[in-house]
Structure 1
Amino acid sequence: MIEAFLLPADQIPDADQRLMLALLQTHFEGVHWPQFQADLGGKDWVILLKSAGILKGFTTFGFYPAQWEGQTVRIVYSGDTITDPSMWSNPALAKAWTKAMQILHEARPEKLYWLLISSGYRTYRFLSIFAKEFYPHYLHPTPPPVQNFIHQLAQNKFQANYDPSLGIVRLPQPQVLTPNLRQVPTEKLGDRHVEFFLQKNPGHIQGDELVCLAEVSTENLTKAGLRIWHSSYAVNILN
């Protein structure tokens, strides 16, 4: 049984932090303690997935305000995110993240937008499970106002590391998948979302990150997202 825990980023026990780093290092090359700590230190919350006390996955994220079209909106920005391969077909992380958004934001008046950078097709693919509309998308070009907002957010956060002509972030210390995980399985190549991701981010093997944006609202949730939103799925809140 997979249990999900939501806790403030500054309250994660050191033992769990070490396990989080170890899980990252099994999937990415060049990830070290200072880099991991820097990501964690810039986030507000963490979701931990555990099975019988064993860490099976996690994601870090933080909230901050932004201005768009004359109003204050709220941005949720995802940082380090990983699951054990045994969890790749398990929706537990998607369920936990969706419920966390409901718990942490639902009562607030601002609109909420999810800023995600993705160097892997699995992360990008989650957008299509969660949101009806997200950008960039293979079906239609990003509307100019949304594209401008993406540029604004990415330039503010990543500065010179962001290439607006490509919508790509190249971090000074990119997270590069281990060799056994770099190749996309043949059976995934017929997936339009996966094919689009590979086209938009040809440097993903080197750790290039595609900047993505989706509104987090019940109006923009897919049927699957709405089922999670209205479900009794339990997230254990620790604080």
Structure 2
Amino acid sequence: MTATLTAPAPAPATSAGLSHRLGLWFAHAYVLGMCGTLAGAYFFQFGLGEYPCPMCLLQRMFFLLSAVGPAWIIARSRNGAVTTREFAAGWGWAVVAALIGSTVSATQVLMHIVPPDPGYAGALFGLHLYTWALIAFLAAAVAAGAALFLAPEAEPLDAGVASPALRRASAVTLAVLLAFAASNLVACFVLQGFHWQMPGDPTSYRLITDLL
């Protein structure tokens, strides 16, 4: 009497695999959120004609730096599984950059509180952009810290977690971040030109003014 062997049925997708994919999608949302914040700043600069001050540009830099951590996790997941150390390093970078950026924003807020003055540039819902930047930085630090806290459930340990949809999304997300980084560099250069220092209250694009 011979026994027949049957191939095991494929294992269904587990909730753990789903949580790992959600963790990777959250990294995408974080990066795009940082870029969306910069898009709002661009609207005030180019749409409303409000020139960013040096501290505003410094805050933009830290928004981009905070996005670099999860962007690195996204890029790493395209080539295989992400280790716990890599996952923690990416989100830890995001937390540190967001906290440093929040100190820059808080400093600018205090500069216009003591002594009290009308504040720099326009406002949105009664709050100036540097106040919104402080709120955004603190929210980003909390979000990145939550991702670190949930690392066992959120880190993409399996190379198969990066589904075709996630791989396509990763190319778009990384391209968007690169575009914002490049555009911010160009905007800073046009604003400052070839001068070593930028005025605290810029009133023109100095590169264009110098060329004309």
Same fold, judged at TM 0.5 (above): no
* TM-score, normalised relative to structure 2: 0.28
* TM-score, normalised relative to structure 1: 0.26
Q: Decide which structure has greater helix share.
A: 2
Q: Decide which structure has greater strand share.
A: 1
Q: Which has the higher contact order (CA 8 A, sep 6+)?
A: 2
